Amino acid sequence: MIKSIWKRSLSFGLILVFLFSLTACGGKNSISTPNQSDDSTKKVKEEAKKTGFSWDMAKGEEIKILFNQHPYAEAVIKKIPDFEEKTGIKVDYSITPEENYFDKVTTSLNSRSGDPDIFMTGAYQIWEYAPPGYIQDLSEFIDDPNMTASDYDIDDFYSGILGALRWDLVPGHKTGTGPQWALPMGFEAYTLAYNKRIFEENGLKPPKTMDELLDVTTKLNEFDGKGTYGLALRGSRNWATIHPGYMSTFVNYGAKDFEIKDGKLVSMVNSKEAVEMTDMWVNLIRSGGSPSWSSYTWYQAGADLGAGKAAMLFDADVVSYFQNPEGASKEAGNISWVSAPLPEGKTEVNSNLWTWALAMNKESKHKQAAWLFLQYFTGKEYSLWASVNAKVVNPARQSVFEHPDFVEVIKKADGYAEVFKETIDGTTIQFTPQPHFFETTTEWAATLQEIVAGKFGSTQEGMDALQKKINKTVEDIEVE
Amino acid sequence: MSTQNKTIVDINHYTKIPFLVKARPYLIMLPALLITIGILYPFGIAIYYSLTNFSFRSPTFKFVGFKNWSDMFLNRDFWHAVLVTGKYALFTTGSEMLLGLGIALLLSRASRFTKILKVVLIFPLMIAPVIATLIWQLMTNTSVGILEKFLNIFGIYNFPWASSAKTAMFTATVIDIWVYAPFVIILILAGIQSLPKSPFESAKIDGGSAWFTFKTLTLPMLKPYMYIALIFRLMASLQEFSIIFALTKGGPGDTLMNLSITGYNTGFAFLKLGKSLPYVLFLWIIIYVISKKLVGKWLKVQKNASGN
């Protein structure tokens, strides 16, 4: 008996020793200040100072790029040989489907191995990657004439799009100030796409208000028999369900996601405006949404519009745009666009924003070569080529959007350019930057699913429960 | 004197055991020891990180004791995940065992038809569960799905399958059965085919009914095989990730949020690895306790079946 106790104590002791030895290993991770110029950046800048800018200044280097599977990435890949020829830099790239893309990026950045040198990102991911110092502050390169081509013209980017990728690292502070963490490849605004043929056949006009949208959605339910429906929306249990049409409409109703009270972020998802808007959204889904709404991502929602199963799509303008070129879908050529419907009495169109951008790994061992890659693939020449010859809509550069060649391309999409112009000024990141963004918005999507499924007695009850959960999640955030 | 000394030296010479001979038992054990360390090290790391606030969002972390564990136990979502994990394991393993036994018994009768069926039934096992789930998503699609068209014949339209909280568990269970029931069938069928013939012949001569033969001979002798199938399926269904993730990511709402999905979301979608590990380790404890009990039972049953 005594022997057994002794053995157990010894085992327990060994486990403790093992754990404490791990503690010693674990604490040794280096800390880097996110917005402080590091030694490798200084070295690269000093080298550039000696020679001045030239496209072959990093000749012979090799860089690794991580792409998300997306038409924007396909366009870049087509032009990589041209870049390699111009710069003498070798590019090695890999593509990962969107479903697992950010898991891969996160673990790569966390390993601090410097691989990949460049990766695709969105604005929301910057709120997670910039505070721990995973990504390079690009302002240091943009402002340096020895590092940046004289014709790069940073002011040519739409300020709202470029500003979405700037942030001062303070939770609760809006985007638009602070270091430039990434540069945009293209972006999405959220508008209403509709099928002209179906609308004409049913004697309907595209809706301008949310009430009209509900009315049309209800009328178009099963417009062509079982399986057809009025309005395609995203609905999967994922943050991406909240950020397109839902968040744009949320803001158009005058609702906010957070307010700062006593140095803390306080969720406002159960405010009067937020509940009224969510109630409308739930009604839209129930009266004319897809029966499989809760599993829908943008792929399915876009495909249903293209297949003529859905009469409307309230999502990214580019999602419906991809369905419209000849041969792209069954309903190609029949798709038209109007601005996001507004609540009664509102005139100002606001839209949330998504931008696919290129960012640099702060631990990259080839920063000069990586910066040349970034410049080339966000520069004027490439952007124009990609927008005219590949599927890069919407271009983030004003000169490209106004270029006659692109105007000619966009003319084929009925109403697209007009809606773009109506929406662009009100297009920005509508969320409050905070590091738990993905957790709070995923919870938001799950609650929306539960409200639609009738789990709560009312929308207010559901949003009250959500508010409590979000407040608990963000309680550790101190706002300066 | 010198002769005596020489004798002593000689004896020492013969009794001295070479180093390699002395080390042999340890060398033999070394590969096993290395493998054990290889298995235990990540496990130990997981326990350690579960006691820290490690996050992919931060380059540093610190020891927080049992905070992650207590937070988990106080979280209602955790208890919901435990319930979902239990329900899923019960529904899938229960159905697979019943179906597996029934189908294996039917297939044990030799005919041309059963020969073909034995081959066809293995097909789902060859498909990765994620791919199987995608196939089922297509089959249950309300516009192009073959199952939707089939249900239309009976006047059922837009059956919600995985999109509704009411039918999501049912849908996931059906997919799990489709993928894994063949595994149970094969195991039990192998058991049936290895049973001795003489007891069954005696029972037939004595006029024993089919039910009597099944209850008193087939079932007790098959029990060891059934226990193996049960252990494997129960362990895997408690850990199930791929089918649920590919189907609804745990939705609609929180309907299918089991421990694996909750742990994955917390660790990789929300980047809080320290907080996610208690979910995974708790699941491991549950599986360890249950499988230990079942393995003990299996040994007992095996002994009984072999007549010892």
| A427-474 pLDDT, tens digit each | 999 999 998 999 999 999 999 999 999 999 999 999 999 999 999 999
Higher pLDDT, B12 or B102: B102
Structure confidence at residue B1 as a pLDDT band (50, 70, 90) = very low
**With an 8 Å Cβ cutoff, are B251 and A294 in contact?**
yes
pLDDT confidence bin for A292, thresholds 50/70/90: confident
**pLDDT score for B293:** 94
Assign B125 a pLDDT band (cuts: 50, 70, 90).
Answer: confident
CA geometry: angle A160, A166, A170, nearest 5 deg: 125
> Cβ(A198)–Cβ(A220) under 8 Å?
yes
Give CA torsion, residues A408, A319, A466, B238, to 10 deg. Answer: -160
The pLDDT value recorded for residue A32 is 44
B150 contacts in A (CB within 8 Å)? Answer: none
Instruction: Examine the pLDDT at A248 and tell me if it is beyond 50.
Output: yes
Q: What's the pLDDT band for B152 if we cut at 50, 70, 90?
A: confident
Chain B positions touching A31 (Cβ under 8 A) are: 59-60
In whole angstroms, what is the distance from residue B179 CA to residue B181 CA?
Answer: 6
- Specify the higher pLDDT residue, B308 or B284: B284
Determine how β-strand A264-267 pairs with β-strand A62-68. Answer: unpaired
Minimal C-alpha gap between B271 and chain A (Å): 8
Tell me the Cα Rg of chain B.
28
Q: How many residues does chain A have?
A: 480
- Residue of chain B nearest A26, judged by CA positions: B61
For residue B249, the chain A residues in CB contact (below 8 A) are 236-238
d(CA A107, CA A128): 12
* Residue indicated by tokens 């079932």: B219
| Rounded average pLDDT over A214-232 | 93
Interstrand relation of A190-195 and A335-338 (parallel, antiparallel or unpaired): antiparallel
Chain A interface test: which of B52, B53, B271, B281 (most A C-beta within 10 Å):
B271
Number of A–B residue contacts, CB under 8 Å: 119
Which residues of B have a CB under 8 Å from any CB of A?
44-45, 47-49, 51-52, 54, 56-63, 137, 141-143, 148, 152, 157-158, 160-166, 247-254, 265, 268-271
Q: Which of A292, A330, A450, A474 to mutate to test the interface with B (most CBs of B within 10 A)?
A: A292
Task: Provide DSSP, A276-332.
Answer: HHHHHHHHHHHHHS-TTGGG--HHHHHHHHHTTSEEEEEEEHHHHHTT-STTSSTTT
The single residue listed with the structure tokens 């993730």 is B245
Q: What distance in Å separates the CA atoms of residue A260 and residue A266, rounded to the nearest whole number?
A: 6
Q: Which amino acid is at B255?
A: T
User: Is residue B64 over pLDDT 60?
Assistant: yes
Probe site for chain B from A295, A470, A474, A475 (most B CB atoms < 10 A): A295
Smallest Cβ–Cβ distance between B52 and the set A26, A237, A439 belongs to A26
Across the interface, of A27, A307, A446, the residue whose CB is closest to B251 is A446
Would the CB atoms of B48 and A19 count as touching at under 8 Å? yes
pLDDT score of A383? 96
Residue with tokens 């239309």: B152
Q: Give the minimum alpha-carbon distance from B104 to chain A in angstroms, rounded to a whole number.
A: 36
Interchain CB distance below 8 Å, B252 and A291: no
Ranking A46-50, A317-321, A361-365, B242-246 by mean pLDDT, the lowest is A46-50
Angle, alpha carbons A152-A155-A159 (nearest 5°): 135
Rounded-to-integer distance, Cα A303 and Cα A290, Å = 12
Residue of B nearest to A18 (CA): B44
Q: Taking 90 as the threshold, does the pLDDT of residue B172 lie above it?
A: yes
* Contacts A14 to B, Cβ<8 Å: none
Can you give the three-state secondary structure of B236-273, one letter per residue?
A: HHHCCCHHHHHHCCCCCCCCCCCHHHHHHHHHHHCCCH
Q: In the structure encoding, which two tokens stand for residue B290, read together?
A: 């249950």
Cα separation, A467 vs A458, in Å, equals 14
Name the helix (H) or strand (E) containing B181.
Answer: helix B168-193
Average pLDDT value for residue range A186-200 = 96
How much is the mean pLDDT over chain A? 90
Cα distance from B58 to chain A (closest Cα, Å)?
A: 5
pLDDT at A7: 62
User: A131 contacts in B (CB within 8 Å)?
Assistant: 57-58
Q: Verify cis geometry, omega within 30 degrees of 0, for the bond prior to B252.
A: yes
**pLDDT greater than 80 at residue B2:** no
Mutate to test the interface with B, among A14, A15, A21, A22 (most CBs of B within 10 A): A22
- For B4-37, how does the pLDDT look when each residue is reduced to its tens digit (9 = 90+)? 555 555 555 666 788 888 888 889 999 999 998 9
Give phi and psi for A135, each to the nearest 5: -120, 150
Give the pLDDT confidence score for residue B251 in this predicted structure.
Answer: 85
Is 50 exceeded by the pLDDT of residue A31? no
Min CA distance, B25 vs chain A (Å)? 22
Q: Which residue of B has its CA nearest to A126?
A: B57
Give the mean model confidence (pLDDT) for residues B138-156. Answer: 85
Percent of chain B with pLDDT over 90: 56
pLDDT value of position B34: 93
Q: State CA B63 to chain mean position distance.
A: 33
What pairs with residue A335 in β-bridges?
A195
Q: Give percent helix, percent strand, percent coil of chain B, each to the nearest 5.
A: 75, 0, 25
Say which amino acid occupies B181.
A
Angle at A209 between CA A207 and CA A213, to 5 degrees: 50
For A308: left if phi > 0, alpha if psi spans -120 to 50, otherwise beta; the answer is left
Contact between chains at B158 and A455 (C-beta distance less than 8 A): no
Q: What angle do CA A163, A164, A166 make, to 5 degrees?
A: 60
Tokens standing for residue A77 = 């890949």
pLDDT value, residue B82: 97
- CA of B112: how far to CAs of A233, A390, B102, B109, B197, in Å? 51, 57, 19, 10, 22
| Nearest one of A44, A98, A40, A90 to A64, comparing CA atoms | A90
Whether omega before A343 lies within 30 degrees of 0, making that bond cis, reads: no
Spatial CB neighbours of A450, under 8 Å, sequence gap ≥ 6: A456, A462, B165, B252, B253, B254
Q: How many CB atoms lie within 10 A of CB B293?
A: 11
Pairwise CB contact (< 8 Å): B59 & A31:
yes
Residue A11 to residues A5, A480, B39, B292, Cα–Cα distance (Å): 10, 48, 17, 20
Which chain A residues are closer than 8 Å to B58 by Cβ? Answer: 131-132
Mean pLDDT of all residues in B214-219: 88
Hey, what amino acid is at B93? T
Dist. CA A165–CA A123, nearest whole Å = 6
Q: Which of A13-27, B6-20, B224-238, B243-257 has the lowest mean pLDDT?
A: A13-27
Helix, strand or coil, per DSSP, at residue B111: coil
Reported as half-sphere exposure (CB side, CA atoms, 13 A), residue A68 has a value of: 20
Q: Is B235 a residue whose pLDDT tops 80?
A: yes
HSE, side-chain direction, 13 A CA sphere, residue B195: 25
In chain A, which residue's Cα lies nearest the Cα of B77?
Answer: A469
Peptide bond before residue A352 is cis, with ω within 30 degrees of 0? no
Between chains, do A237 and B268 touch, taking CB under 8 Å as contact? Answer: no
Q: Strand pairing partners for A66?
A: A94, A119
- Least confident stretch, A106-115, A183-192, A251-260, A363-372: A106-115
- Structure confidence at residue A449 (pLDDT): 95
Nearest CB neighbour to A30, from listed B59, B152, B165: B59
Is the pLDDT confidence value at A12 over 60? Answer: no
Lowest mean pLDDT among A157-161, A300-304, A467-471, B115-119: B115-119
Whole-number pLDDT of residue A29: 38
Q: What is the pLDDT of residues A76-110, one digit of tens each?
A: 999 999 999 999 999 999 999 887 898 899 889 98
